[in-house]
Amino acid sequence: MTHTEDITTTTIQLNNSESLSGVSDYLEVSTDQADRVAVYIDGGSTGNVPAQYDLEHHVYKSAGVDDWFFDHNVSGETARSWSVPATGPRWRINLTNTSGGTAQYRIVVESIVED
């Protein structure tokens, strides 16, 4: 059985090479108790496959460091979902439009506790 620890969402239109953090802010969730983080991405209000994007994952390390660190990234993707292990007390993503044109994205980031 699983349950949600934290969830955040946004729908945003980005020009080519424009990133989420440059227009609004990173999408961030608490992962203090979470086992994994799920990221869902689609083409906005239509629910279609998203336009091509790059996705960066960052983790907050608090034990004596208290700062954000790059975790990993994927490039040139159109995948609609990702699931990665939760590490650290906070976790965030940054999405960059690499489609060659303007695109709309609906993004959900959810931290999940597996009971």
What are the tens digits of pLDDT across the range 50-97? Answer: 999 999 999 998 877 889 999 999 999 999 999 999 988 999 999 999
pLDDT at 46: 79
pLDDT at 104: 96
User: What pTM does this model have?
Assistant: 0.92
pLDDT at 62: 80
pLDDT at 45: 82
Mean pLDDT within 103-111: 97
Quick one: three-class SS letters along the chain?
Answer: CEEEEEEEEEEEEECCCCEHHHHCCCEEEECCCCCEEEEEEECHHHCCCCCCEEEEEEEEECCCCCEEEEEEEEEEECCCEEEEECCCCEEEEEEEECCCCCEEEEEEEEEEEEC
